[in-house]
Chain A
């Protein structure tokens, strides 16, 4: 206990992370943002280029209407107000993957602003073009003794929507959770492949910390390249910890851009440029403003499907599902769709049971696959769940039936019949119980003496005899009856 009291106080002081996210979404239009080249999906390098996206002298950009449409859809889905008139700017900097020496992007007047998704406010949504890809050629590709790289312009000019949140996120886990919500929302909109590994969804985080309860913002750092939910969580946690340690040691956070290395989990500052960034934004004179007409807005509005957050709410309130199950079904729209078809196939109130079967047994069975791609029909699942409720098939046997349905399809009742999986009952079961109690006389004595655990031995014998087709509760009842 030799430490100075001040240091103690600092060490004990609780910090609160303040996190804002910047997400880049590659839009799944057919063609690029400003030219007619088709988007590239792993084609040979430099086979999806034209004079415009190579930045050849004299060429001019022309905005892709579908990209604007997708941008408006995203803006609306995130509860933003579309700008009555937005413009493009040029963001000037030199880099080999930037053919014109500037990126066409929206700046002070974005396509849409001021929205909300879940508990996080959206600052802005804007359109821009993606950079090309710089491939490091390695030791063999040297130019004049220095390392060489090669530029592939296939990706250059792919339409991007950038979504910037307000700094409302308070933990790494919340960041990852929210990003999942965003991803499933975008997937539901059908505007992007939203694949983080392939880079169609990219997330940067602005991270600062401040003493808990204070309103001021600390100095923030920008974390780049966290191309999975896990990396995002690890990266932000690492940065929060680094900043806390810095402050606790009496240091200060400096504003910088950090690169997250997923292999080591380390954060390293990006090579600082010779001079501070000065992007010299100015209005792009080659393009005219976007002023969405009522027709454009209506088209975007009517293209909006029910969004996952809304669906989860509806599944909870209308179908009585518990929140976790509702979210799971809503966030995996394939499961949600399958659920709603199965639930509709049933007159009785099996919705909750069907939901539980889907998020439990079915997901255990098929993993990430779309249930609609299996042989299982929603009506069959509903029928099977009904049979379990009615006691005509035991739960454990029903799992085997589900496995058969997934692999081969068919009618659950016929499978139960054919495989003799029907619940043992009536005289058959009574006879089996009688026999088991006769065989397990010792156990029966113990039960009579008040040792309930001894029921297990009788139960085991019954199950062995019926090959698991007996309903446990029914067997219990029959045993009690015979005591």
Chain B
């Protein structure tokens, strides 16, 4: 179960502005899905190690050797808004 307030909180964490209609729908859908997912809480998993990785590798490291950077036009090329030098964004404090 997840309630409306939790949905709004999670949406804020994820920077999603949900419409009222979406909040309603999401609350119902997520609750249904979470109820199903909660099946995993029925298992006794106390002594089981978590798997975050299926590859058994360690120490995959890169030598400290430079590779060419992008020209600035390349870096800024796909940006929605630039001043020709940097990526423009509304000021965080504004």
Contacts and interface: CB of A to CB of B under 8 A. Distances in A.
Do chains A and B directly touch (beta carbons under 8 Å) in the complex?
Answer: yes
Interface of A: 29-31, 35-38, 44-51, 54, 62-68, 85, 87, 94-96, 134-137, 141, 143-144, 146-153, 271, 274-275, 278, 280, 282-283, 285, 287-293, 296
B64 A65 contact: yes
A293 B67 CA distance: 27
Given A38-B69, A63-B62, A147 B90 contact: yes
Interface in B44-65: 52-53, 55, 57-65
B13 A31 contact: no
Contact of B89 (A149, A274, A293): A149
Contact of B69 (A47, A67, A275): A47
B91 A148 contact: yes
A280 B13 contact: yes
19 contacts: A37-B67, A47-B75, A49-B70, A50-B70, A96-B87, A96-B89, A134-B89, A134-B92, A137-B91, A143-B81, A143-B89, A146-B91, A149-B90, A151-B86, A153-B87, A275-B13, A283-B53, A288-B59, A290-B58
Contacts of B39: none
Contacts of B94: 146-147
A65 B76 CA distance: 29
Q: Determine chain A's interface SS by DSSP, over half rule.
A: loop
Q: Determine chain B's interface SS by DSSP, over half rule.
A: loop
Nearest to A273: B12
B15 A150 contact: no
Interface of B: 9, 12-13, 15, 52-53, 55, 57-72, 75-76, 81-83, 85-94
A278 B93 contact: no
A143 B72 contact: no
A150 B65 contact: no
Nearest to B91: A147
B53 A46 contact: no
A144 B67 CA distance: 38
B93 A271 contact: yes
Contact of B64 (A29, A143, A287): A29
B70 A151 contact: no
Given A46-B76, A85-B58, A275-B12, A38 B66 contact: yes
A37 B65 CA distance: 9
A137 B88 contact: yes
Nearest to B58: A291
Interface centre among B57, B59, B67 (most CB of A within 10 A): B59
Interface centre among B66, B85, B91 (most CB of A within 10 A): B91
Nearest to A53: B69
